[in-house]
Amino acid sequence: MSTIEESESRKPIALFMAFGTKGDVYPLAAIAAAFARDQQQYSVVLMSHLAHENLSSHLVKANVSYFPITSPPALSSEAQDTQEATDSKRTLFLEEKQRIKREHRQECHSAFGTIFGKGPCMEGDLVVINFFALEGWSLAELFQIHCVVVAPYVVPYSPPSGFERQFRKELPELYKYLKEAPIGKVSWSDVTHWMWPLFTEEWGSWRYEELNLSCYPFADPVTDLPIWHIRPQSPLVLYGFSKEIVECPDYWPLSVQVCGFWLLPNEWQYSCNKCGDNPSAGRLGTDSSPTCSNHTEFYTFVSSLEPTLPIFIGLSSVGRSKFKLIPLKSFLISTFSILLCQKNTDI
């Protein structure tokens, strides 16, 4: 069978790439599951860290495949025991960090070939990335696939001071190309909002050396000059928060869409499969919602607070940290006590 026939015989593929910790990955996983249920003409794949592979048990119910990447969800910014670390230890740490990044990108590149095949991609193929999966943008460019950005929070980085001045000095033609873009086409506002890291050496050398692309998006791979006759649409950016909570300035690109909060399915929020699979999961205080023995004490404690249950207390990634200064149970009890005291005072 020819590659063209192979591409025509398969379903279009929607690849969701989400890297980072749970707060970065789980919202995209939930969207991937919802997308698969709604758009059944697609084959849907979630690519993320091997550490999040427990998601696959939830995703398989929505016919979403899980493609694990072996890199860790987070890398330390500094060597451990930095104050006592020698220069040689710091050098080894940085070399190891670069090795992990390099192998991560190689895995992602290989994964694209496995998922989309070597033949031409279909018009309906789609890549959805979060802000920690920027390699997905360049790989989508390489495979000529439409790319969308999805995030449950505002872009977590901003251009360094002097970025625009340096860009205009070193890449005057590309700067002009972006500044003079027609409405609806990729423009300088897209760059300043979220795309600027793609124009740095961090990604440029990888694009050029490993992918045989131009060092810079929207540029010719031979001359590094902008491709004036091609004006891509401004990339769609979907944010999972409310305009009532986060201000959306007028200078944001018109392609930015704020969709409201994305709430995970109840059963996804349990690290314990037995609790998560319980159809009554989350209905605290009901006698008909048995839980596993590991969490009975916690359920009993929280249920005892009814009808004044706490609104929400999020520990983010702290729950998996190794801090031992404040035991988690003591922290929760203290916090709940403060909330109850405040409520009684208000009354």
* Percent of the chain with pLDDT strictly greater than 70: 76
Evaluate if residue 10 carries a pLDDT over 80.
Answer: yes
Q: Is the peptide bond before 232 cis (omega within 30 degrees of 0)?
A: no
- Which residue type is seen at 84? E
Q: CB within 8 A of 21, min separation 6: which ones?
A: 73, 74, 316, 317
Are 243 and 199 in the same domain?
yes
- Which residue type is seen at 277? D
Are 169 and 240 in the same domain?
yes
> Average of pLDDT values for 20-49?
95
Q: Would you state the pLDDT for residue 273?
A: 67
| 265 located within any domain | no
Say whether pTM exceeds 0.75. yes
Are 92 and 168 in the same domain?
yes
| 266 located within any domain | no
Q: Would you state the pLDDT for residue 4?
A: 37
Range with lowest mean pLDDT among 56-70, 190-204, 237-251: 237-251
Are 171 and 308 in the same domain?
no
Are 195 and 324 in the same domain?
no
Are 302 and 334 in the same domain?
yes
| 267 located within any domain | no
Confidence band (pLDDT; 50, 70, 90) for 158? confident
Among residues 217, 235, 258, the one where a domain terminates is: 258
Confidence band (pLDDT; 50, 70, 90) for 8? low
Among residues 213, 230, 258, the one where a domain terminates is: 258
| 32 located within any domain | yes
Among residues 258, 284, 319, the one where a domain terminates is: 258
CATH code, domain with 244: 3.40.50.2000
Are 192 and 291 in the same domain?
no
Are 201 and 298 in the same domain?
no
Are 143 and 190 in the same domain?
yes
Are 253 and 306 in the same domain?
no
| 173 located within any domain | yes
* Percent of the chain with pLDDT strictly greater than 90: 56
Q: Would you state the pLDDT for residue 84?
A: 56
- Output the CA torsion sign for 202, 203, 208, 214: negative
| 162 located within any domain | yes
Evaluate if residue 347 carries a pLDDT over 50.
Answer: no
Are 79 and 13 in the same domain?
yes
Are 230 and 289 in the same domain?
no
Q: Which residues pair with 226 in a beta bridge?
A: 219
| 232 located within any domain | yes
| 264 located within any domain | no
Question: Whole domain around residue 315: which residue ranges?
Answer: 272-346
Q: CB within 8 A of 131, min separation 6: which ones?
A: 24, 149, 151, 155, 156, 157, 194
Confidence band (pLDDT; 50, 70, 90) for 344? very low
Q: Are 213 and 142 in contact (CB under 8 A)?
A: yes
How many domains are there within the chain? 2
Q: Using one digit for the tens of pLDDT, what is the confidence trace for 245-270? A: 888 899 999 999 999 888 888 778 76
